[in-house]
């Protein structure tokens, strides 16, 4: 692992979560613990805070737990996928959370572990599993999925304009021999994309590798379950921050937060009917992006889009904390 693991948009995350995390007895869930950088900053900033660090990757849990050992029982590691937050809370004796961060996508730590097969710039087995105990790997997807399904995955998850050409090259290659390495796949993709398509957007294999990673780890299906599950167990005045790195992740986030920030009363009524009031208020009118200063320090933050919202207190006419 060569690159530094710099928490993305850390100042913004701390600012948005501070009013909820600073409350007495507050519980914060770092739903995508990774290397533990965001959790370390939250624990340092809020001495009364309890942090539950969730990750499906046992390597991440082990490394982050060592990093955060000095905080004692204020840090609780939990091996789980982030759609299981209600169960994780219950298992640890909590019935609600005050703050939660979702930092979606693959972590820098996983990218830098060559053997995990996430990076198209390094030769490694075609793996891409965030949880090494899962059965599905990128190698299985590339070598066994029907061509039509591969095209759909590359178009939908990778937004690859040349999906048909890429899949045609994959199918032709796998008929001769099984595709087993990341460098072999990256070269196939590079050769399949026309020269004009290589002039912008970085490495031409980036979109294909992203699509395969999302498929292998079921990221979008999980995210569609995870965000509502976390919002449902949030205490009044609690806050959520989401960092997305893909337009589909951000779209799911935007739609779910907007739905909860909108009244369901029939139009034209002077007041909301009981039970139809918004349950959240948006803290970001549109997705925030990293500053240029951050991008200069951490280029990997470039795709990040941040959205935040706050749980509104039950209807007495008063909203949540400012």
Instruction: Mark whether 285 and 204 lie in a shared domain.
Output: no
Give the H/E segment covering residue 163.
helix 163-176
Which residues, 6+ apart, have CB-to-CB distance to 232 below 8 Å? 86
Instruction: Mark whether 32 and 94 lie in a shared domain.
Output: yes
Q: Is residue 320 part of a domain?
A: no
pLDDT of 315: 65
Whole-angstrom distance, CA of residue 306 vs CA of residue 33:
17
53 is in an annotated binding site: no
Confidence (pTM)? 0.86
CA nearest to 40, candidates 16, 19, 58, 13:
13
pLDDT of 314: 73
Q: Is residue 78 part of a domain?
A: yes
pLDDT of 1: 38
Indicate the residue among 171, 187, 217 that finishes a domain: 217
β partners of residue 77:
53
Instruction: Please give the sequence-ordered ranges of beta strands (E in DSSP) within the chain, or none if there are none.
Output: 27-30, 50-55, 75-79, 97-103, 234-244, 280-282, 305-311
Q: Is residue 109 part of a domain?
A: no
pLDDT of 277: 84
55 is in an annotated binding site: yes
Instruction: Mark whether 92 and 228 lie in a shared domain.
Output: yes
Query: Looking at residue 126, what DSSP letter applies?
Result: S
Instruction: Mark whether 95 and 224 lie in a shared domain.
Output: yes
Q: Is 184 left (phi over 0), alpha (psi -120 to 50) or beta?
A: alpha
Instruction: Mark whether 99 and 124 lie in a shared domain.
Output: no
82 is in an annotated binding site: yes
163: domain CATH number is 1.10.150.170
36 is in an annotated binding site: yes
Instruction: Mark whether 238 and 93 lie in a shared domain.
Output: yes
The domain of 21 spans: 10-103+219-311
Answer yes or no: are the C-beta atoms of 228 and 83 closer than 8 Å.
Answer: no
Distance between first and last Cα of the chain? 40
pLDDT of 320: 39
Indicate the residue among 166, 199, 217 that finishes a domain: 217
Instruction: Mark whether 131 and 69 lie in a shared domain.
Output: no
* 99: three-class secondary structure by DSSP: strand
What is the full per-residue pLDDT of the chain (322 aa) written as tens digits?
344 478 999 999 999 999 999 999 999 999 999 989 999 999 999 999 999 999 998 888 999 999 999 999 999 999 999 999 999 999 999 999 999 999 997 655 545 554 444 565 567 889 888 888 899 999 999 999 999 999 999 999 999 999 999 999 999 999 999 999 998 999 999 999 987 766 566 678 889 999 999 999 999 999 999 999 999 999 999 999 999 998 999 999 999 999 999 977 777 676 777 777 899 999 999 999 999 999 999 988 999 999 999 999 876 443 334 3
CB atoms within 10 A of CB 274: 8
Indicate the residue among 217, 237, 266 that finishes a domain: 217
Instruction: Mark whether 191 and 249 lie in a shared domain.
Output: no
Instruction: Mark whether 224 and 190 lie in a shared domain.
Output: no
- Tally the domains of the chain: 2
Instruction: Mark whether 182 and 235 lie in a shared domain.
Output: no
Instruction: Mark whether 85 and 229 lie in a shared domain.
Output: yes
103 is in an annotated binding site: yes
pLDDT of 133: 87
Q: Is residue 115 part of a domain?
A: no
Q: Is residue 301 part of a domain?
A: yes
């Amino acid at each position: 692992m060569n690159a530094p693991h710099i928490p993305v948009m850390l100042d913004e995350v701390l600012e948005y979560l501070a009013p909820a995390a600073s409350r007495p007895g507050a519980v914060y869930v770092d739903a995508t613990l990774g290397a533990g950088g965001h959790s370390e900053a939250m624990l340092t900033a809020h001495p009364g805070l309890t942090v539950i660090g969730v990750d499906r990757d046992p390597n991440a849990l082990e490394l982050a737990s060592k990093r955060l050992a000095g905080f004692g029982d204020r840090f609780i590691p939990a091996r789980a996928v982030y759609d299981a937050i209600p169960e994780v809370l219950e298992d640890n004796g909590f019935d609600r959370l005050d703050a939660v961060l979702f930092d979606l996508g693959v972590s820098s730590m996983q990218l830098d572990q060559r053997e995990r097969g996430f990076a198209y710039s390094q030769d490694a087995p075609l793996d891409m599993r965030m949880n090494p105990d899962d059965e599905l790997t990128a190698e299985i997807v590339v070598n066994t999925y029907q061509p039509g399904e591969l095209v759909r995955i590359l178009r939908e998850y990778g937004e690859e304009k040349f999906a048909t050409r890429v899949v045609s090259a994959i199918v032709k290659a796998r008929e001769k021999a099984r595709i087993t390495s990341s460098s072999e796949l990256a070269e196939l993709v590079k050769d399949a994309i026309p020269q004009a398509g290589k002039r912008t957007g970085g490495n031409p294999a980036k979109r294909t590798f992203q699509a395969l990673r999302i498929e292998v780890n079921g990221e979008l299906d999980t995210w569609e379950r995870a965000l509502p599950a976390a919002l449902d167990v949030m205490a009044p005045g609690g806050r959520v921050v989401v960092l997305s790195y893909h337009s589909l992740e951000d779209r799911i986030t935007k739609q779910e937060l907007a739905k909860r920030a909108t009244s369901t009363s029939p139009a034209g009524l002077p007041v909301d009917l009981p039970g139809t009031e918004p349950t959240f208020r948006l803290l970001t009118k549109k997705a925030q992006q990293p500053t240029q200063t951050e991008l200069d320090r951490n280029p990997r933050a470039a795709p990040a889009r941040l959205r935040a919202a706050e749980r509104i207190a039950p209807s007495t006419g008063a909203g949540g904390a400012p």
